[in-house]
Amino acid sequence: MVKNLEDMQKFGKDNADASLKSFGVLSKNFQAIAVEVADYSKKAFEEGAAATEKLIGAKSLDKVIEVQTNYLKSAYEGFVSQSAKLGELYAGLAQETYKPFESYVKTAAAK
């Protein structure tokens, strides 16, 4: 009976430690994601404002189309790049969050 109680206490402690490590990883990675999103939002806003200024100053329809085309191309490329970067961050988040519990999964799979 004492052995079972000790095993349960050890399991509880190990589980709590793994949960705390996982929470720390979540916190760190969510901060990185939030910083990345904030930086992208700021950059996108600044680029949009610059494009708007260029549109206002355009003297011809050809110039308006050129400015708008360049802005849309740049915005699309930035969005695709940012999406890929955020995808990598989220994938890393999942992997890092899983690591503290990896031993439990391996133990359960072996049984």
Domain that residue 98 falls in: 2-110
Q: Is the pLDDT of residue 108 over 60?
A: no
Q: Indicate the pLDDT class of residue 101, thresholds 50, 70 and 90.
A: confident
Q: ∠ CA(24), CA(25), CA(30), 5° rounding?
A: 100
Q: Which of 19-33, 66-80, 92-106 has the weakest average pLDDT?
A: 92-106
Return the C-alpha torsion angle 5, 11, 13, 19, nearest 10. -150
Average pLDDT of span 41-61:
95
Q: Indicate the pLDDT class of residue 95, thresholds 50, 70 and 90.
A: confident
Q: What is the pLDDT of residues 3-46, one digit of tens each?
A: 777 877 777 787 788 778 888 888 888 999 999 999 999 999 99
Q: DSSP letters of 84-97?
A: HHHHHHHHHHHHHH
Domain tally for the chain?
A: 1
